Amino acid sequence: MTQLFEELDSRGLVKQSTIELERLKSILNGPSLSVYAGFDPTKSSLHVGHLIPIMILARMQTAGHRPICVVGGGTALIGDPSGRDSMREMLTEEKIQENMRGIQAQLSRFIDFSEEKALLVNNYDWLGFENYIDFIRKIGPHFTVNRMLNADCFKIRMEKGLSFLEFNYMILQAYDYFTLYKKYECTLEIGGDDQWSNIIAGVELVRRIEGREVFGMTNPLLTRSDGKKMGKSEGGAIWLDAEMTSPFEYFQYWRNTTDDDVVRFMKIYTFLPISEIERYSSMKGEELNEAKEILAYEATKILHGETEALKAKEAALNLFRKGSADGAPEITMNINLLNGKLLADICVNAGLFDSKSEAKRMILQGGLTMNGVKIEDVAKTVSASDFSKDIIELKKGKKTYLNIKVVR
RNA sequence: GGGUCAGUGUCCGAGCGGCUAAAGGAGGCAGACUGUAAAUCUGCUAGCGUAAGCUUACGGUGGUUCGAACCCAUCCUGGCCCA
């Protein structure tokens, strides 16, 4: 008997449930069941915004349940209209296959897929082979269009137009649940609160066809206290793929959490015991920096492992406390591309800026530092004295560091 | 299928023949202040060029005009109304 329900509830992860809380509690805390959450393979990497259901599944697994991650290879061909006001770009099957591989790798950082302790399935495996007529004969009678049109997730789109293609999304997701129930005895679906309509559609479908009650639960959609979207930062989304967002950047993302969010995020995004997290909730002002560091370290550790997390922490310490550029993100460049070249050009080559115009703008605004010295001359060229240590330390603004290692 | 309205920069959204690289807002970046926070204030926010300047850009394509995001034709996409 675990305290899973209390665990999730105290971390603020329960928003709505298809059953009363008391029953939800006994189900969550009861014998092992299979629980599923869906992930859209629309990109080759998941990002911070996907983390909540992942963390919930991970906690469920720890409590003895079996997570089923459904990668929507089939539904991605349709596009979920929930929460968006325009139609999604359609993806090719090849692209989806490719994306799935990346997503799978990332999920396994959080969830143990060995010995079938968790499953990863692609809904294309069942959706892709359905015959249209058979399918609508089987499923169609159980849905009324009237009801569907009333679903929240379609509401916004009623204004802007909703294609029949997307209208089917809900039915397909419901069918997923039905299939998972049949195949794996899956009796719980979780998802963000925007998935509520889709989840209850699945719950109802199973009840109508199988006469069996299955459950659904949503987590609150997280917005940051400053109103910004979760998972977005300076450069864009924060990805779980280390190639797309380095462990250092990932660490920094969490380290820069707004004061008001630190404790809330610790509850959601780390495995630290609630009792320990509570200690930080009394912290105010500058003290919270300590909490932020712990949040960043823990979150990075879960995804990238302890070694990387320590490295990131160390680098941050050097950069922001000691003023040393040790451990900053580093790239190597051949000396031929550096000596005598325009600094602005070098920065663009190094990926610090997207264009030369941007680089120049930044210099004019006093936002570029090289080897600890603010660069004020747009026409600055790099010479041997600038890389006498075989390294050029660049800093854009206050927080973006990049070391260029010189290859002779 | 008919009618009608619309399609603008990352997003929202003004412009409706020259003064428009395109108002305003949001977002992003930078500077100041700070605690690697928030709030606030300031600047920047297509590319290329040290620069004068040049090149792309207002759904696509053609056209009218000295000159078009703006006018015309046609096509595509979407809304609404009718069938």
- Reported ipTM: the value is 0.83
What is the average pLDDT across A342-359? 90
The H or E element containing residue A106 is helix A93-107
pLDDT tens digits for range A364-405? 888 999 998 899 888 889 988 888 888 999 999 999 999 999
Note the pLDDT of residue A226: 62
Note the pLDDT of residue A234: 46
Read off the pLDDT band of A60 (50, 70, 90): very high
- The partner residues of A55 in beta bridges, in order of sequence, read none
Strand pairing of A373-374 and A368-370? antiparallel
Q: From residues 304-363 of A, which are strand B contacts by CB within 7 A?
A: 316-317, 319-321, 342, 345, 348, 354-358, 360-362
Q: Reduce the DSSP state of residue A199 to 3 states and report it.
A: helix
For chain A, what percent of residues have pLDDT higher than 70? 92
Note the pLDDT of residue A81: 56
pLDDT tens digits for range A38-47? 998 877 888 8
Question: What's the CA–C1' distance between A357 and B68, in Å?
Answer: 29
Nucleotides of strand B within 7 Å of the protein's CB atoms: 27-32, 34-39, 43-51, 78-80
The span from the CA of A110 to the CA of A58, in Å, is 6
pLDDT score of A99 more than 90: no
pLDDT tens digits for range A194-246? 889 999 999 999 999 999 999 999 998 876 666 555 555 545 678 899 988 89
Q: From residues 272-311 of A, which are strand B contacts by CB within 7 A?
A: 285-286, 288-289, 292-293
- Which of A76-80, A185-189, A218-222, A401-405 bottoms out in mean pLDDT, i.e. has the lowest? A76-80
